Chains A and B, each alone.
Chain A
């Protein structure tokens, strides 16, 4: 079975998210991400999207990457996970690609054993490698209760 991925870059690495989990892409500079006190660093804040509160995750913090200011090109990928609309900041959305099953390698065993194994697999696109992320696990469990109450 083929899968379609929204491909984005973060810290010059390529990641992919299943298109069916993606609600849409926003330009971060069009929104004010309002920070919230007392929440984990992995949550950048919240935005008002068409009258709805949407929580924005900071993937850099989650992936342990060096923190950086929002760039001109930065995008928000809005995801539909756990019955809640939330999104994450990425450097740039580069492509939407279709990958066949033979081009996808399942997650390595050392990842599967760790607690927050949000890597679903590795996609091969010519000589590029795309880390396919699991949208459900990406927005980790420990953060969800807060979102549920806020939602």
Chain B
């Protein structure tokens, strides 16, 4: 019965794809990074803002697209600037995750950034960060102060900030929204595909288990059938023995008949002998009594052998019914096996479709 328990436990297991827990998927597991990179690069170039995608720990999974000189050469060039960037990104990301929507905010270095969360089933798996743009003309004094704070050349910094593209807040929000929608749809589709793969794998495993169980059932049906056939043969032997006992009983009955006749003839002789035959007559009577007893006993034994025979016949009848039932079971198992094979075929197609998505 271990197989059945095994099959039951299977249902309690989590949905797993190739040994990977689907409830714990990472961004890199489900999104085609090359595709995202390409999209992100083209988008950034087309709209004129920078972008990078980070996973849940804040580690970039794509190369930065269209980073400004302001950020790349100045802000990130010092340890302090780099840290402030990371902190700024983290905050933006947190806000985005909390609201579940893209957030547009001003970064520590005074540029406009956005953070768009990538979610699966309400769970954050990564963030698309972007921006490095301005909505208005930069205030030089502000950037000189920030350059002082992070320890970069203030003149170069001011020079670099002037290169930063100017976009309206509306356009930044729209750009963030586009990235948000595309990335989330990509991850959603990928996630559904993974789920589909997982389900079809479970289905496949279960079907294999059903097939194996059906094979065992078919084998045990065969065993029951052959055991029953052997049982019928053995019981048939009992009938043969009973028949032989009856033959012996016929022989004993014949002897009893012969003895009785002997008694009758002896009685006749005794009667004809008159007075002299009296004693002999008594013996003759005893012989007749004895033969009558023997005959009665034979009758009783025959009743017993008859009852054995009728029991045996009943048993054989029931055995034949069992055989029929087992054969019907075997036929049913074959039908199920055929159905399972059909479903297995469909499941393979399903797996192929899931993998092709």
Binding site for B on A (CB under 8 A): 4, 6, 19-20, 22-27, 73, 75, 93, 96
Tell me if B21 counts as interface (CB < 8 A to partner A): no
A-B contacts besides A25-B265, A93-B264, 16 pairs, CB < 8 Å: A6-B268, A20-B271, A22-B268, A23-B268, A24-B265, A24-B268, A25-B261, A25-B264, A26-B261, A27-B258, A27-B261, A73-B257, A75-B261, A93-B261, A96-B267, A96-B268
A25 to chain B: which residues have CB within 8 Å?
Answer: 261, 264-265, 268
The docked-state distance in angstroms from the alpha carbon of A19 to that of B267 is 9
A47 to chain B, nearest CB (A): 16
Q: Which of B271-311 contact A (CB under 8 A)?
A: 271-272
Main secondary structure on A side of the interface with B: strand
The docked-state distance in angstroms from the alpha carbon of A4 to that of B265 is 13
24 residue pairs from A and B, CB less than 8 Å apart:
A4-B271, A6-B264, A6-B268, A19-B268, A19-B271, A19-B272, A20-B272, A22-B268, A23-B268, A24-B265, A24-B268, A25-B264, A25-B265, A25-B268, A26-B261, A27-B257, A27-B258, A27-B261, A73-B257, A75-B261, A93-B264, A96-B264, A96-B268, A96-B271
B261 to chain A: which residues have CB within 8 Å?
Answer: 25-27, 75, 93
- What residue in chain A is nearest B267 (Cβ atoms)? A96
A6 to chain B: which residues have CB within 8 Å?
Answer: 264, 268
- What residue in chain B is nearest A80 (Cβ atoms)? B272
A19 to chain B: which residues have CB within 8 Å?
Answer: 268, 271-272
Q: Sort A-B residue pairs by CB-CB distance and give the 4 closest, nearest first.
A: A19-B271, A96-B267, A4-B271, A24-B265
B267 to chain A, nearest CB (A): 4
